[in-house]
Chains A and B, each alone.
Chain A
């Protein structure tokens, strides 16, 4: 079982650019959640996808959007990047109606 995988591992972008991060959930999981973890802070919930729809959203602007594919994998898109978007982006997968989330290793995004 591969667990949750994320790509790329690291990414450097310039202010104003757009970025796409990818996540493959643990085998058998159908729900994907995305978190932003700034340096020295705990993860902040961005949104959750289930059945290819955004089911719940945290306090993030519309520049943050996502998608879930029929195979349950997911993408996180961030438009018009700001310096403050620099963070570790974590993907977590779970079964619907389950408390237990499995996390990927994250994508480290640096905006310059």
Chain B
């Protein structure tokens, strides 16, 4: 069965510094990959997704993630973080053969921005 691992439960980083949040999934079957963000006291919002095509995907607020099939990874990066990026970030995977698009989730990584 598919599983998703987010190795870091918390990542503290100074404002304007770069950050990488790591995500690995277990199965090498064809997958769709997602990053969701959960701001304090809010629901989950889709940040970016990989469905096919270019392995590098970008969000409108400066995040990017790269699909690496050989390493079964989908790490999230941002070159310069802002205080407003403080949130919990979840990686999720969906098996392409699952027509219901059931999502398997990682445990989340809390991004803590230090001023």
User: Which A positions have Cβ atoms within 8 angstroms of B?
Assistant: 4, 33, 40-45, 48, 55-56, 58, 90, 92, 94, 97-106
Instruction: Kindly state the interface size class of chain B when it binds its partner.
Output: 20 to 34
Chain A positions within 8 Å of B107 at CB level: 40-42
A103 & B102 in contact (Cβ 8 Å cutoff) = no
**CB of B61 within 8 A of chain A?**
no
B59: min CB distance to chain A, Å: 14
- In angstroms, Cα B104 to Cα A33, docked, is 13
A40-B107, A42-B4, A43-B90 known; A98 vs B101 contact (CB < 8 Å): yes
User: Which B positions have Cβ atoms within 8 angstroms of A?
Assistant: 4, 6, 9, 32, 34, 36, 41-46, 49, 51, 90, 92, 94, 99-108
A87: min CB distance to chain B, Å: 13
B102 & A48 in contact (Cβ 8 Å cutoff) = yes
Chain B positions within 8 Å of A99 at CB level: 32, 34, 49, 51, 94, 101
Q: List 23 A-B residue pairs with CB atoms under 8 Å apart, sorted by A's residue number.
A: A4-B43, A33-B102, A40-B107, A40-B108, A42-B6, A42-B90, A43-B44, A44-B105, A45-B102, A48-B100, A56-B100, A90-B43, A94-B101, A97-B101, A98-B101, A99-B34, A99-B51, A99-B101, A100-B49, A101-B46, A103-B36, A103-B44, A105-B42
